[in-house]
Amino acid sequence: MSFEDVEAIPENDRNLVHTLIREEKDPKAVKDQLLAVLTAAKDPSSMTMAFAIYELARNPDVAAKLQEEISRVCGLSNLPTAAQIQEMTYAKCVMKETLRMYHSLYSVLGLQRRTDVWGPDAEVWKPERWLSHTAETWSFIPFNHGPRVCLGRVFGQQQVLYLLNKIKVLTAGTRLLLPWQQWN
| 176 and 100, same domain (yes or no) | yes
| 155 and 66, same domain (yes or no) | yes
| Count of structural domains, the chain | 2
| 57 and 119, same domain (yes or no) | yes
Residue 169 to residue 147: CA distance in whole angstroms: 37
| 93 and 58, same domain (yes or no) | yes
150 carries a ligand binding annotation: yes
Q: Which domain holds residue 28?
A: 3-39
- The confidence score (pLDDT) of residue 91 equals 96
| 115 and 166, same domain (yes or no) | yes
- The confidence score (pLDDT) of residue 122 equals 94
| 72 and 11, same domain (yes or no) | no
Residue 152 to residue 38: CA distance in whole angstroms: 7
- The confidence score (pLDDT) of residue 182 equals 61
- The confidence score (pLDDT) of residue 84 equals 93
pTM score of the predicted model: 0.72
Going residue by residue through the chain, which has 184 residues, state the pLDDT in tens, using 9 for 90 and above. Answer: 777 787 888 878 877 777 777 777 678 877 877 776 666 555 778 889 999 999 998 998 999 999 999 999 988 777 888 899 999 999 999 999 999 999 877 667 788 888 998 999 999 999 999 999 888 878 888 888 888 888 788 888 898 999 998 887 666 666 656 566 665 5
- The confidence score (pLDDT) of residue 66 equals 94
